[in-house]
Amino acid sequence: MKTVAIIAASGVGKRMKLDGGMSKQMIEIGGHTVIWHTMKAFQDAESVDAVYIATKSDSIEPFKQLARENGFTKIHSIIEGGKERQDSIRNCMDLIEEEIESSGVMPDAILVHDGARPFIQPEEIDEIARISAEHGACVPATKPKDTIKYIGRTPEVFGETLDRSRLLQVQTPQGFTPAKLIEAHRKAASDGVYATDDAALVERYFPEQEIHVYEMGYHNIKITTPEDVPVGEAILAGLKARKSEN
Amino acid sequence: MKTVAIIAASGVGKRMKLDGGMSKQMIEIGGHTVIWHTMKAFQDAESVDAVYIATKSDSIEPFKQLARENGFTKIHSIIEGGKERQDSIRNCMDLIEEEIESSGVMPDAILVHDGARPFIQPEEIDEIARISAEHGACVPATKPKDTIKYIGRTPEVFGETLDRSRLLQVQTPQGFTPAKLIEAHRKAASDGVYATDDAALVERYFPEQEIHVYEMGYHNIKITTPEDVPVGEAILAGLKARKSEN
């Protein structure tokens, strides 16, 4: 199967309180940077042929070097991201569209992943790619552990309680058949619409497209706050222990 | 300030895959059991006068011994929980009501906490108690890090995407002025109503009571799945490092 992947890796880690706008992708967990873990997972995923990464301009060279030194041969392009995450993904998609036109080969699926989710596993990527190609759209999710409520009439008070049994917390990589993802992003750009994730864009422009749930473990966290670093170390140790058991 | 606390600690750790229905409260994190951490936090909270714990019948003696051996003098009663979490809380509330009647002293607030949230800090308990007494109801919450969607027409597909900026993930301890919490539980018992948390019960029977948000850090997790144990170790190490800096 031919799948291409987009990795959004422009986050400057404001919530991480990093010095001088250091990329949160460069934080080390388990002896490797966040982006190393992410690149390696996509390198090792059998379904993936080519990976496009959007990042800050001054991360492009370090990322290229990292890919070269580690034999991450599937990293196809590392380009500058846009203002918002969605713009970065759009930049990668422009490249993918050119590639499709020049090669005449249409991928089975495009996956979009957050660079700051380094604990995704290659076999999970493969499964999401497979379901996306088969059903048109697939998004990983976990059941929320906590009760979820709306904010009320001011941010200091609560509103309505949601029915937790009907909720899912969604993650990435989110996979789609190329035509729909490309068209949804094109329309969003022309309408000036920004959505919370790619699934929300596809939902908006292709409401008839059902988005399939891939039930994910709790390891696929996003490295967002300083607390996440030791938590990430623990998750990584757990994943290694699980692998050595098998 | 006189605050009483209820700790629901009946969970048998089904999702933890523990042997022979071992209580998840007895899992060790950082060299102490989950329930030890929880008891200690309430012992050290200045606002708290008395703690009522509901647990499985065969945990009552071990918990009593733990409290005795560690000088947790505020642990007032350890009783058998009911069928559901809400029944366990109701059992504790019956005792508290008797105490109020016999002593003639009304607490300023009642806090209800999950025993499996061992990383709550004493000063957080105090602050939630204070806001509860002042405003009638206070619940700790964090902003969700992930996008939240509804489950669709079947559990395999997604429904609508929620506006994340309007959502909060709620935790415990949840605090209320005693009259409203007692009355809400009494009405729920007589109506046969079960709610996802105590705040939802108070919302139901006292819709005019605004529930105040206490913005909590991401450390106050519930120990629910095996992955949570190493994550808990990491959180604990982070909390210790933070304390030694101050």
Which residues of chain A are within 8 Å of residue B238 when distances are taken between CB atoms?
Answer: 226-227, 230
Amino acid A145: pLDDT: 85
Residues on chain B touching A212 (C-beta within 8 angstroms): 156-158
* List of chain A residues whose C-beta atoms are within 8 Å of the C-beta of residue B197: 147, 161
B122 inside domain = yes
Q: Do B197 and A161 touch (CB under 8 A)?
A: yes
**Which stretch of A52-56, B10-14, B134-138, B223-227 has the lowest confidence by average pLDDT?**
B10-14
Average pLDDT over residues A106-110: 97
- Domain count along chain B: 1
Q: Tell me which residue in A146, A200, A211 faces B170 most closely, judged by beta carbons.
A: A146
pLDDT of residue B16: 62
Q: What is the pLDDT of residue B150?
A: 95
3-state secondary structure chain B: CCEEEEEEECCCCCCCCCHHHCCHHHCEECCEEHHHHHHHHHHHCCCEEEEEEEECHHHHHHHHHHHHHCCCCCEEEEEECCCCHHHHHHHHHHHHHHHHHHHCCCCCEEEEEECCCCCCCHHHHHHHHHHHHHHCEEEEEECCCCEEEEECCCCCEEEEECCHHHEEEECCCEEECHHHHHHHHHHHHHHCCCCCCHHHHHHHHCCCCCCEEEECCCCCCCCCCCCHHHHHHHHHHHHHHHHHHC
Q: Bigger pLDDT: A32 or A227?
A: A32
Average pLDDT rounded to a whole number, residues B177-200 = 95
**Which of the two residues, A158 and B21, has the higher pLDDT score?**
A158
pLDDT at A14 over 80: no
Position B126 pLDDT exceeds 70:
yes
- What pLDDT was estimated at residue B203? 94
pLDDT class of B244 with cuts at 50, 70, 90: confident
Residue B179 has pLDDT above 70, yes or no: yes
Residue A205: pLDDT over 90: yes
Higher pLDDT among residues A179 and A1, named by residue: A179
B157 versus A18: which is more confidently predicted?
A: B157
DSSP string, A121-173: -HHHHHHHHHHHHHHSEEEEEE--SSEEEEE-SSTTBEEEEP-GGGEEEE-S-
**What pLDDT, on the 0 to 100 scale, is given for residue A230?**
82
Considering only residues B244 and B47, tell me which one the structure prediction assigns the higher pLDDT: B47
pLDDT tens for residues B215-224? 998 899 999 8
CB pairs under 8 A between A and B: 155
What pLDDT sits at residue B237? Answer: 87
B163 found inside a domain:
no
Instruction: Write out chain B residues lying below 8 Å of A162, CB-based.
Output: 162, 167
Q: Between the CA of residue A159 and those of A16, A146, A207, A230, B201, what are the distances in Å?
A: 29, 16, 28, 33, 13
Query: Does residue B63 register a pLDDT over 80?
Result: yes
Name the minimum distance, in Å, from the CA of A166 to any CA of chain B: 5
Average pLDDT over chain A, rounded to an integer: 92
Q: How far is B175 from chain A (nearest CA, A)?
A: 14
A13 pLDDT higher than 60 = no
User: Confidence band (pLDDT; 50, 70, 90) for A245?
Assistant: confident
- Is residue B115 a part of any domain in this protein? yes
What's the pLDDT score for residue B128?
Answer: 98
Cα–Cα dist B133/A189, whole Å = 50
Give me the pLDDT at residue A5, please.
98
CATH of the domain at B54: 3.90.550.10
| Interchain contact, A196 vs B237, CB within 8 Å | no
Any domain includes B208: yes
Q: Which amino acid is at B152?
A: G
Interval B115-143 mean pLDDT: 97
Q: Sort out which chain B residues have CB atoms less than 8 A from A195's CB and list them.
A: 161
B154 part of a folded domain: no
What's the token pair of residue A34?
A: 């966040």
Q: Which of A158, A172, A242 to mutate to test the interface with B (most CBs of B within 10 A)?
A: A158
Residues A169, A150: Cα–Cα separation, whole Å: 15
Of the partner residues B145, B167, B225, the one whose CB lies closest to the CB of residue A148: B167
pLDDT number for residue B15: 60
Residue B236's domain comprises 3-136+172-245
Nearest CB partner across the interface for A234, out of B139, B166, B234? B234
B27-52 average pLDDT score? 97
Query: Poorest-confidence range of A188-202, B6-20, B22-36?
Result: B6-20
